Amino acid sequence: HTLLFQRSSKISKLFRLRSKMMKRIVIAITSGVIVSEIMWQLYKKHKRSRKKVINTSNFNCNGSVEQLCNNTEAKILEVMFFSQDSALCRPHLKCMQPCRKQNCPIRYLKKIIYYLDSAIHTLDICLYFFTFVELAEAVIRAKNRNVVVRIILEDSMTYTDRSRLMTFCKEGIKPVVKQLDVLVHHKFVIIDNNILITGSINWTKSAFFGNFENVLITNESAIVKPFIYEFERMLTMLTDTETNSKNSEYS
């Protein structure tokens, strides 16, 4: 009897241990399934919301930029650098054919023009100096497509022989010229409140073909929105200043 009792006790312990192990296995499997499902749902959510980051420095200029601008799922991020070597490419400006150099200013210029040509609704420009004919022509094309074009320029640089001010006025685009004692030294362009072009560069041939300059192009909302706010703030301030100045003259 004692032997049977001992055996039954051992069997009972084994069953209890087995039962505990089975419970642990079930809990582990259930937890694994739940965690896997959570991870899968998070992955799908991330995949849906993820925007593909594209550096357009590897794009050619045969329509790739237009396709990129029309692709709202693509995040645009590009940095351009100009240097004294850019002057070597200036003779190619007439044919607008970029050379094999990765940082060819003609290639950069064509990309910027493509971005301007992609404008559908609005084109906001705030520049210190604007003399580049090819870029001015892209702005005029935008106006002819019924894009709302608004331009802020530094007044001390608008009455030079090469300034595009009179060209814009003839085409029905009236730039706002600052009436302040400080310089408008900004260099940025906003396309459709979505794409920002900014940097150190003035829109002049000497800047594109000879200076050390930089350009950043992006549609990152956190970067674009402050520039939208700054443009609207400046436009309101300069418009109010111009109105007050005219009222003072009449009075």
Domain 52-250 homologous superfamily, CATH? Endonuclease Chain A (3.30.870.10)
Q: For the chain, what is the radius of gyration of the CA atoms?
A: 31
Stated as kind and residue range, the H or E segment containing 165 is helix 165-170
Q: Model's pTM, two decimal places?
A: 0.70
Q: Give φ, ψ of 220 to 5 degrees.
A: -65, 115
List the chain domain ranges. 1-50, 52-250
Interatomic CA distance for residues 50 and 150, integer angstroms? 33
More confident residue, 177 or 163: 177
Mean pLDDT of 1-13: 59
By the 10 Å C-beta count (0-12 exposed, 13-18 middle, 19+ buried), 248 is classed as exposed
Residues recognised as catalytic: 185, 187, 192
* DSSP H stretches of helix in the chain: 2-49, 64-70, 105-117, 133-144, 165-170, 205-208, 221-250
Picking from 211, 232, 224, 189, the residue whose alpha carbon sits closest to that of residue 77 is 224
Q: How far apart are CA 9 and CA 23, in angstroms?
A: 21
pLDDT in the model for residue 13: 66
37-51, 75-89, 164-178 — which one is most confidently predicted on average? Answer: 75-89
3-class DSSP assignment, residue 75: strand
Instruction: Give residue 251's pLDDT band: very low, low, confident or very high (50, 70, 90).
Output: very low
Q: How far apart are the first and last CA of the chain?
A: 123
Q: Give the tokens for residue 98.
A: 């970029």
pLDDT tens digits, residue range 197-208? 999 999 999 999
